[in-house]
Structure 1
Amino acid sequence: MTMHKGSCLCGAITYELKSEPKAVTHCHCRMCQKQHGAAFATYASIPKSDLTYLSGENLLVSYNSSASIVRKFCGLCGSNIEWVGSEEYPDWVSLTLASLDSPFKPNRVKRVRVESQVCWLQQ
């Protein structure tokens, strides 16, 4: 297995994964659209214990976007890094797939919250 590494835009926050990312999703919910400034956000989930921050963990800023969900981003450059707090999967973390620096091609990408999909997105 390849050890995957990732970082924020400015490179102050770096991390590595001890397992292959799972459950890759394009999320079309309004919170992801607002946070990313995009039509959707792409996340991959891994067990929390398989995520290690190598640098800049103290720069992560947290924002509670709902009662249980905490979104984390770089306090310097604003890059979205992760969200946690799923009631269904409390021991998992979802990372922004685009923050990976090593190549990763998921076998499958699920689309979720499509009821919020923007009207200008081409299929």
Structure 2
Amino acid sequence: MENEIHQGSCLCQQVSYQVEGKFENFFLCHCGHCKKDTGSAHGANLFSATAKLTWLQGQDKVKTFTLKDTRHVRSFCQDCGSGLPNLQFDDALLVVPAGSLDTQIAMEPNGHIFCRSKAQWQEGLDKVEEFESFPQ
């Protein structure tokens, strides 16, 4: 089977990366930490124990924050704040924010996790009106 190659970057385009290999899991995390990280209803992260991360440019702009007394780790661009990949658990697990990818992935999320922390306003979002761009 052919190895997958994915490209990603931050919003300001100063940091870019490549992931070579397969993602084993894709979870939408509703924990309080991920909601704070994203400012949204959940984090969307891809996980791989085998894929290889290569920084193509701007690695010096990548900052990593570990929340004290937790396993919560977040890497981001120091200039624009975009979430970026990081290695966790003694570099045994690659975590990639799905929204930071520039290439498409065929994988769908495996599931929602930490649902007891779901935002109350998230219920019924599939019924909210959709717009192609900012509404007039």
- Provide TM-score, normalisation by structure 1: 0.87
- Name the structure 2 match of 1:77: 80
Alignment partners' CA distance in 1, 2:16 and 2:50: 15
Q: Could you say what the CA RMSD is over the residues aligned between the two structures, in angstroms?
A: 2.0
- Name the structure 2 match of 1:64: 66
Report the number of matched residues.
121
- Provide TM-score, normalisation by structure 2: 0.79
Q: Does 1:94 align with 2:86?
A: no
- Name the structure 1 match of 2:6: 4
Shift of residue 48, structure 1, vs aligned partner:
6.8
Partner deviation per Cα, 1:74-112 (whole Å, 9 max, x = no partner): 00100011354348xx50121100111011121442111
- Name the structure 2 match of 1:41: 43
Structure 1 gaps of 5+ residues are none
After superposition, the Cα gap between the structure-2 partners of 1:22 and 1:94, relative to the gap in structure 1 and judged at 3 Å, is same
Structure with higher RCO (Cα < 8 A, 6+ apart)? 1
Alignment partners' CA distance in 2, 1:4 and 1:53: 12
Structure 2 gaps of 5+ residues are 125-136
Q: Please tell me whether Structure 1 or Structure 2 has the larger radius of gyration of its CA atoms.
A: 2
